[in-house]
Structure 1
Amino acid sequence: MTSSGSDPAPSDHATPQQGMPEVNGLTADDIRTSLKAGFADFLARPMMSGFFGLFYAVFGILFIWCLVWLGAVWMVIPAAIGFPLVAPFAAAGLYEMSRRLARGEKFGWSDILNVMSSQSRREMGWMAFVTLFIFWVWFYQFRTVLVITLQNSSFSDLDGFLNTVFFTPEGWIFLAIGACVGALLSAVLFSVTVVAMPMLLDREVDFITAMLTSVRVVRENPVVMLGWAAIILVTMLLSMVPAFLGLIFTLPILGHTTWHLYLRAVSPVER
Structure 2
Amino acid sequence: MADIGSNSPVPFKVAGDLTISDLRAALAAGWSDFLAMPQYGLFFGAIFAFAGIALAYATIVLGEVSWLIPAAAGFPLLAPFLAVGLYEVSRRREYGIAVDWPAVLGAIRGRGHDQILSMGVLIFVGFGFWVIIAHLIFSVFLVEAGAGSESLEFLITPMGLAMLAVGSLIGGVIALVFYAVTVISLPMLVDREVDFLTAIFASLRAVSNNSMALLIWAVFIAIIMALAIALAFLGLLIVVPVLGHATWHLYRRTIASTHPSTGQVV
TM-score by length of 2: 0.89
Say if 1:81 and 1:237, in contact at 8 Å, map to a contact too. Answer: no
Alignment CA distance shift 1:66-1:162 (3 Å): closer
Are 1:217 and 2:210 matched, yes or no? no
Alignment CA distance shift 1:170-1:120 (3 Å): farther
Which amino acid in the other structure matches residue 23 of structure 2?
Answer: I
Shift of 1:268: 2.2
Q: Distance in 2 between matches of 1:165 and 1:236?
A: 21
> Which one is further off, 247-256 or 9-18?
9-18
The aligned residue for residue 200 of structure 1 is 189
Secondary structure of the 1:34 match is helix
Are 1:143 and 2:132 matched, yes or no? no
Q: 1:83 aligns with which of 75, 82, 89?
A: 75
Q: 1:24 aligns with which of 15, 30, 39?
A: 15
Alignment CA distance shift 1:251-1:226 (3 Å): same
Are 1:154 and 2:148 matched, yes or no? yes
Say if 1:68 and 1:76, in contact at 8 Å, map to a contact too. Answer: no
Alignment CA distance shift 1:233-1:108 (3 Å): same
Alignment CA distance shift 1:112-1:41 (3 Å): same
Structure 2, gaps ≥5 residues long:
261-266
Are 1:129 and 2:118 matched, yes or no? no
Alignment CA distance shift 1:216-1:81 (3 Å): same
Q: 2:8 aligns with which of 12, 15, 26?
A: 15
Q: 1:33 aligns with which of 22, 25, 29?
A: 25
The aligned residue for residue 264 of structure 2 is none
Q: Distance in 2 between matches of 1:42 and 1:237?
A: 20
Say if 1:42 and 1:253, in contact at 8 Å, map to a contact too. Answer: yes
Are 1:228 and 2:217 matched, yes or no? yes
Alignment CA distance shift 1:200-1:222 (3 Å): same
Say if 2:83 and 2:241, in contact at 8 Å, map to a contact too. Answer: yes
Say if 2:109 and 2:117, in contact at 8 Å, map to a contact too. Answer: no
RMSD: 2.0
Fraction of identical pairs, as percent = 39
Say if 2:4 and 2:95, in contact at 8 Å, map to a contact too. Answer: no
Shift of 1:120: 9.2
Q: Spell out, residue by residue over 1:43-90, the C-alpha distance to the aligned partner (whole angstroms, 9 max, x if none).
A: 110122211111221122224434555442223322222121110011
Equivalence map 1:37-116=2 (5 Å): 37-116=29-108
Say if 1:64 and 1:79, in contact at 8 Å, map to a contact too. Answer: no
Aligned residues: 257
The aligned residue for residue 161 of structure 2 is 172
